[in-house]
Amino acid sequence: MMERCDQIERAAHYVEAENARMIAEARASLKTSGTADCIDCGRPIEPKRRVAMPAARRCIECQSHIEAEKYHR
Ligand SMILES: [Zn+2]
What is the distance in A from the centroid of ligand 1 to the CA of 58? 5
| Ordered alpha helix ranges (H), the chain | 2-33, 47-52, 60-72
Q: Tell me the domain boundaries of the chain.
A: 2-72
| More reliable by pLDDT, 20 or 35 | 20
The structural architecture, per CATH, of the domain 2-72 is Up-down Bundle (1.20)
Residue-wise pLDDT tens digits, 31-66: 555 567 899 999 989 888 888 888 888 999 999 999
Quote the pTM value.
0.47
Section 9-27 average pLDDT: 88
What is the distance in A from the centroid of ligand 1 to the CA of 27? 20
Residues in contact with 22: Cβ distance below 8 Å, sequence separation at least 6, in sequence order: 55
Q: Hey, what's the torsion of the CAs at 25, 27, 33, 38, to 10 degrees?
A: 80
What is the distance in A from the centroid of ligand 1 to the CA of 64? 9
Using the Cα atoms of residue 57, residue 61, residue 64 and residue 69 in order, give the sign of their dihedral.
negative
What is the distance in A from the centroid of ligand 1 to the CA of 29? 18
